[in-house]
Chains A and B, each alone.
Chain A
Amino acid sequence: MKIQTSRFAEIDIDESKIIEMKGGILGFNHLDRFVMIIHEEGSPFHWFQSLEDGSIAFIIMNPFIIKSDYEPEIDDQTLEMLEVKNAEDIELMVILTICSAPVKITANLRAPLVINKQKKFASQVVLADEQYPVQYSIT
Chain B
Amino acid sequence: MLILTRKLGESIAIGDDIKIEVLDIKGRQVRIGVQAPRQTKVYRGELYQVIMEQNQESTHSHSRQIEDILLKFKNNINNT
Docked complex Cα distance between A50 and B60 (Å): 12
> Do residues B77 and A138 form an inter-chain contact, with CB atoms below 8 A?
yes
> Do residues B70 and A23 form an inter-chain contact, with CB atoms below 8 A?
no
Contacts of B50 in A (CB 8 A): 134
Docked complex Cα distance between A139 and B73 (Å): 8
Q: Is A111 an interface residue (CB 8 A)?
A: yes
Q: A81-B38, A100-B66, A126-B43 are in contact. Are A105 and B58 (CB under 8 A)?
A: no
User: What size tier do the contact residues of chain B reach?
Assistant: 20 to 34
Total A-B contacts with CB atoms under 8 angstroms apart = 96
Residue from A55, A96, A111 in contact with B61 in the complex, judged by beta carbons closer than 8 Å: A55
User: Chain B interface: which of A12-20, A41-49, A84-92?
Assistant: A41-49
Residue from A8, A97, A111 in contact with B62 in the complex, judged by beta carbons closer than 8 Å: A8
Q: Is A36 an interface residue (CB 8 A)?
A: no
Chain A 66-117 residues near chain B, CB threshold 8 A? 66, 77, 80-81, 95-98, 100, 103, 105, 108, 110-111
> Do residues A42 and B62 form an inter-chain contact, with CB atoms below 8 A?
no
Q: Is B5 an interface residue (CB 8 A)?
A: no
> Residues on B close to A: CB < 8 A?
38-39, 41, 43, 47-48, 50-62, 65-66, 69-70, 72-74, 77-78, 80
Q: 4 closest pairs, A vs B, by CB?
A: A27-B52, A7-B62, A43-B74, A77-B38
